[in-house]
Amino acid sequence: MTNRIAFQGEPGAYSHEACQDAYPDMEAVPCQSFEDVIGAVRRGDADLAMLPVENSTYGRVADIHRLLPESGLHIVDETFVRVRICLMAMPGVALEDVASVRAHLVLLPQSVNFLKMHGIQGISAADSAGAARELAESRAVHEGVLASSLAAEIYGLNVLASDIEDHGHNTTRFVIMSREPDVSRRGESVMRTTFVFEVRNIPAALYKAMGGFATNGVNMTKLESYMVDGSFTATRFYADIEGHPDDAPVRRALEELAYFTNSLNILGVYPASPRRNL
């Protein structure tokens, strides 16, 4: 065991914050891409991977559903992070001195009202935590960054305004993946099972595949489709359900699903996060 958890982004990214919140005793290891995160765990350089799968404002994280089934890893937990946006600048700089801010493209539209109110120009950056690091290096006095409070702490920047997002519900869901599955846990919380499947090319295949969950009283909380290798005829579905594969209703529903699919891959069985309903 390395006691390390890998995440995508630079130190101070919201994925880094997710690692600290969920696994404070583990060393968080930054990686350049999602593929690098997965590779770090597969090689044994890290024990766990922290991967964002969806955001309450922007929906599914691009490419993640394509990567998870091919990763060779297994979902063992989930966690949620409220995206709280801070405007930060060099120490000694006042808010009225800031003429522009840099941030990842997804953060700028979420703070448009605050930026307009203060006459601040938003400039897109490849990475918000990276923009914070660059500001600390350049020491520019008329520039700011939108990022997490963790980024400000790491790079020695001063937070001039907190929680400046236009909507207070912006939350990212992460899954935690490991080399080995863990289907032994039950606990007190609701169990969740995540899987991907590809329906057979027969009439009403998806309708029939979903019927088993309805007749067995299994709650499906997510169902999303995505293309396979750019083909319009090969469509996969990503699904989350409540329950454990060993539960009789879930077992029957999955058996019925398998009859109408070309492939069925269970990605993980894990307890629902207590933060899910916050």
Known catalytic residues are: 172, 174
Strands 143-147 vs 86-89: parallel, antiparallel or unpaired: antiparallel
Residue 52 dihedral angles phi and psi, to the nearest 5°:
-75, 135
CA 192 remoteness from chain centre: 16
- The neighbour count for residue 92, using CB atoms within 10 Å, is 8
Residue 244, token pair as written in the block: 């454990």
> What secondary structure letter does DSSP report for 10?
S
- By DSSP bridging, strand 158-161 and strand 86-89 are antiparallel
CA-closest candidate to residue 114, choices 138, 90, 98, 128: 98
